[in-house]
Amino acid sequence: MPDTTRFQERVYAKLKKVPKGKITTYGDLARAMKSSARAIGQTMRCNPYAPKIPCHRVVKSDGTIGGFGGAVRGKKIKDKIALLNKEGVHVKRGVVLNFEKVRYRW
């Protein structure tokens, strides 16, 4: 079993509720967890369960992709976009298309 904190496990459990074809934001998830967007970002960066725990479904509040696996550009970001596209969330020039339509809120 990976070395994770109770907080991380709670965040991962909450994130599993975001269905395929939807995204959430670091801020939305932070509010649902009564935490901060920065803490959510750090938790996503350390996700040992990806993609089973779908950290690729977490984006910035303006609909831009944000980071993935500790990266903000390059192959990992392309992988995040590919995972989102496969699930029906389309990204163009680093921005989620139809952002509000595919945004999951608690």
Residues annotated catalytic, as ranges = 55
**β-pair type (24-25, 58-59):** parallel
Question: What separation in angstroms does the CA of 87 have from each of 1, 8, 81, 90, 93?
Answer: 27, 24, 10, 9, 18
